């Protein structure tokens, strides 16, 4: 008896299941039917699609495995008589073509609008033209609504690949829309760059590598806002002349200080063309010179010397130390904290003692050990510290004293690289000490350099410099906020 009851129960469940399933299928069918019949209140198009009358909506299943709402209808434009713009004759209807425009996605379902469009022909001069479609975006078979949506997504920082996925458009179309958006934003008529939004007081000039080091480009930044003001291929003086021509002499005359690298052509260009601006050689670049051209070279020389002397152990210690020697103590401490909190780093970790790693002083300890074992590297460390402190000073005379101290220190080592460093400090003394009056830095450019790398990874770089440059202008600007104003779409 108990078995029978059990069977009944099972049957009950089964019936229930079948009924529920039937219901779901019915609902689905009902939905499809509703769409097919296009019930008055079901899924209407946004009211802004003026000029379109939706008569029928069906769900289509595409080859690429997507559901697409096909909003069918007609253009409400009733003007049947149009006149030839060339000879004034009344034009005839010369045929009707079915037109499909991609429209906004509804969640994950893409959509399109389809309608017949008339073609007119002039009996006089044979000129033909299509019936105008008020909601079609220029240059693309998409609605203005979809264009505005795609531009919004791009301005928000979604990658082209993301936008293609969300909108259902092809990657090339997305790119074309993005280029047009950026041209609207940063150029006049798509050709000349717009002038800076504001007068800058301090600007930074720097260079960066284009396309994995094949070419260089010059970058000019408003140091207060971080906005990129100018980008040009090459790293010559002419890039700066181009910028001055672009902003005008009056604008450049109101710039108080310019930060740049002392090993560049830029200073000369600024001296020539900007008589009122003070050139400042910033901390960021001084350190770059010291690290790349002095410490790195000394490390190589010392390693060679140790090997020649047969001191293989000390040479081995120096071998993988480039990163550690070129980092600031703050960076080393940060790395140590990270390794304590479990972040794994492989660079140079080969030489760490495990006890060091546990207490999180491995990098710093190794650095201390490196400099205490080597007199030259110890002096470099001292120079680093002294420069750091000198660049904190706001008194020109005190800063000058500190820099002279550093120069003397370099000379007394009698090392070729340090003597070179003393020489360039001497040569660029004025611009270095100017930092006390104008404590500006090109450090922001380093942030931009990281963005450049990200962009290149995402494939915006080579071979299209114009797009890449416009994209850089865009990411240096403030974050985009949606729906703050009505978005103007340029036809």
**Rounded Cα–Cα distance for residues 104 and 148 (Å):** 10
If we measure between CA atoms, which residue out of 435, 476, 484 comes closest to residue 230?
Answer: 476
Q: What is the residue whose two structure tokens read 């004293």?
A: 401
**Which pairing describes strands 215-222 and 202-210: parallel, antiparallel, or unpaired?**
antiparallel
Residue 279 DSSP symbol: E
The Cα-based distances of 468 to 156, 242, 329 in angstroms read 17, 19, 35
Which CB, 87 or 156, lies closer to Zn ion? Answer: 87
Min separation Cβ 127 and Zn ion, Å:
5
Min separation Cβ 132 and Zn ion, Å:
17
**Rounded Cα–Cα distance for residues 269 and 264 (Å):** 10
Min separation Cβ 134 and Zn ion, Å:
23
Min separation Cβ 128 and Zn ion, Å:
10
Which CB, 127 or 183, lies closer to Zn ion? Answer: 127
Which CB, 128 or 254, lies closer to Zn ion? Answer: 128
The Cα-based distances of 152 to 158, 159, 172, 181, 431 in angstroms read 9, 12, 17, 10, 44
Which CB, 31 or 87, lies closer to Zn ion? Answer: 87
Which CB, 91 or 440, lies closer to Zn ion? Answer: 91
Which CB, 124 or 157, lies closer to Zn ion? Answer: 124
Which CB, 131 or 374, lies closer to Zn ion? Answer: 131
Binding site for Zn ion (CB under 5 A): 84, 86-87, 89, 122, 124-125, 127
Min separation Cβ 116 and Zn ion, Å:
23
If we measure between CA atoms, which residue out of 171, 82, 162 comes closest to residue 118?
Answer: 82
Min separation Cβ 94 and Zn ion, Å:
12
487 exposed, middle or buried (CB, 10 Å; 0-12, 13-18, 19+)? middle
Instruction: Identify whether 169 is preceded by a cis peptide bond (ω within 30 of 0).
Output: no
Q: What is the residue whose two structure tokens read 């531009």?
A: 151
Would you say 89 and 47 are in contact if contact means Cβ atoms under 8 Å apart? Answer: no
**Rounded Cα–Cα distance for residues 290 and 15 (Å):** 82
Look at residue 270 and give its three-state secondary structure.
helix
Per the structure block, which two tokens stand in for 282?
């910033």
Which CB, 15 or 125, lies closer to Zn ion? Answer: 125
Would you say 226 and 202 are in contact if contact means Cβ atoms under 8 Å apart? Answer: no
Min separation Cβ 87 and Zn ion, Å:
3
Min separation Cβ 491 and Zn ion, Å:
24
Which CB, 127 or 201, lies closer to Zn ion? Answer: 127
**Rounded Cα–Cα distance for residues 374 and 305 (Å):** 12
Which CB, 125 or 416, lies closer to Zn ion? Answer: 125
What is the DSSP secondary-structure string of 95-137? Answer: EEEEEEEEEEEETTEEEEEEEEEEEEE-TTT--EEEPP-TTBP
Min separation Cβ 124 and Zn ion, Å:
4
Min separation Cβ 120 and Zn ion, Å:
10
If we measure between CA atoms, which residue out of 102, 103, 104, 101 comes closest to residue 130?
Answer: 101
């Amino acid at each position: 008896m108990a078995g029978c009851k059990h069977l009944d129960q099972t049957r009950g469940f089964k019936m229930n299941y079948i009924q529920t399933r039937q219901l779901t299928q019915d609902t689905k069918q009902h939905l499809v039917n509703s769409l097919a019949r296009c019930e008055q209140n079901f899924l209407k198009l946004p009211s802004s699609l003026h000029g379109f009358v939706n008569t029928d909506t069906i769900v289509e299943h595409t080859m690429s495995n997507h559901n697409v709402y096909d909003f069918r209808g007609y253009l409400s434009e009733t003007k049947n008589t149009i006149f030839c713009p060339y000879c004034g004759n009344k034009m005839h209807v010369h045929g009707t073509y079915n037109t499909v425009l991609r429209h906004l996605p509804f969640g994950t379902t893409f959509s399109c609008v389809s309608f017949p469009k008339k073609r007119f022909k002039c009996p006089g001069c044979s000129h033909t033209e299509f019936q105008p479609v008020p909601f079609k975006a220029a240059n693309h078979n998409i609605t203005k609504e979809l264009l505005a949506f795609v531009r919004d997504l791009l301005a928000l920082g979604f990658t082209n690949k993301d936008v293609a996925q969300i909108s259902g458009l092809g990657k090339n179309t997305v790119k074309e829309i993005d280029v047009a958006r950026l041209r609207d934003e940063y150029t006049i008529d798509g050709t000349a760059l717009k002038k800076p939004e504001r007068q800058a007081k301090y600007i930074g000039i720097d260079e960066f590598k284009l396309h994995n080091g094949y070419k260089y480009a010059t970058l000019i930044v408003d140091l207060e806002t971080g906005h990129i003001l100018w980008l040009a291929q090459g790293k010559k003086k002419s890039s700066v002349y181009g910028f001055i021509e672009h902003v005008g002499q009056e604008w450049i005359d109101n710039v108080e200080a310019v930060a740049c690298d002392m090993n560049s052509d830029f200073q000369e260009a600024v001296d020539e063309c900007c008589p009122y601006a003070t050139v400042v050689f910033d901390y960021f670049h001084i350190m770059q010179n010291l690290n790349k051209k002095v410490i790195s070279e000394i490390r190589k020389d010392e390693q060679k010397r140790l090997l020649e002397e047969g001191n293989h152990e000390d040479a081995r210690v120096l071998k993988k130390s480039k990163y550690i020697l070129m980092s600031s103590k703050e960076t080393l401490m940060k790395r140590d904290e990270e390794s304590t909190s479990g972040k794994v780093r492989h660079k140079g970790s080969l030489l760490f003692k495990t006890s060091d790693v546990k207490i999180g002083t491995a990098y710093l300890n190794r650095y201390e050990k490196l400099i205490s074992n080597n007199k030259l590297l110890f002096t470099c460390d001292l120079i680093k510290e002294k420069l750091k402190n000198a660049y904190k000073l706001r008194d020109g005379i005190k800063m000058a004293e500190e820099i002279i101290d550093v120069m003397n220190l370099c000379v007394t080592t009698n090392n070729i690289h340090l003597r070179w460093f003393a020489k360039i400090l001497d040569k660029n003394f004025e611009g270095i000490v100017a930092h006390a009056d104008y404590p500006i830095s090109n450090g922001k450019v380093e942030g931009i350099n990281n963005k450049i790398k990200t962009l290149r990874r995402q494939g915006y770089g080579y071979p299209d410099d114009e797009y890449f440059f416009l994209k850089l202008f865009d990411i240096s600007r403030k974050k985009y906020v949606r729906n703050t104003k009505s978005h103007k779409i340029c036809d």
